[in-house]
Structure 1
């Protein structure tokens, strides 16, 4: 359903960024955001805070890691897709990758 709705919304002659924007819109309409992650530059986030957020991580937080590590979009392209500043994209990538690494490490050990 997500793929077909994305192409219906995105049209045929779209760039990758425009297509992922359409996907994001369809996803958020279908499933919602679930959580909001804000960062104003002055807030310090420790590992325990991040662990608590894992279960209800925002859709955009997950999408950021997916677009960077699976699709291969640049940080600037991801910022365009999700409508967040470049610094936010980089922060979400850092914490998303860290969480994935921790989960993999826990399952291996």
Structure 2
């Protein structure tokens, strides 16, 4: 079976869906999609489009983490809560890349920059969390 290469334009629906699931807001979704496509060149590969989306999400919502090697290297405003937010966003993005975009674990690992085994664990955890979250919202 031949896998067709998707162009950035072919990925527009997937990127919009990912952005909406990540932000939960139409205006923020449109801003995030626009920011992603502004930062792309016309012949970007599928993985590059998704990496750009992740980078734009992190830039827009300030969820970047910096590990501290010594106290002097630490930014005072980087807290455990911010690191947890990044971790949470990456888990959610991993589940959505798998479920909406149909990407394989290896592709998701490349986009997020984590080992494949970490992605597998995140998918297991993230799917359970998202199912329980949707059940809570449906019962409210």
The TM-score, its normalising length taken from structure 2, stands at: 0.57
Q: 1:69, CA displacement in angstroms?
A: 0.5
2:58 and 2:64 in contact (8 A); partners too: no
Any stretches of 5+ residues in structure 2 without a counterpart? 1-30, 66-83
Match of 1:23 among 28, 44, 53: 53
Larger RCO, structure (CA 8 Å, separation 6 or more): 1
Is residue 61 of structure 1 aligned with residue 91 of structure 2? yes
Matches of residues 42-53 of structure 1 in structure 2 within 5 Å?
none
1:76 and 1:86 in contact (8 A); partners too: yes
Any stretches of 5+ residues in structure 1 without a counterpart? 36-54
How many matched pairs? 91
The TM-score, its normalising length taken from structure 1, stands at: 0.72
* RMSD between superposed Cα atoms in Å: 2.4
Residue 4 of structure 1 aligns with which residue? 34
Structure 2 CA distance for aligned equivalents of residues 80 and 62 of structure 1: 16
Q: How far does the alpha carbon of each residue in 1:15-55 deviate from its partner, in whole angstroms, 9 at most, with x for none?
A: 111000000111100002288xxxxxxxxxxxxxxxxxxx9
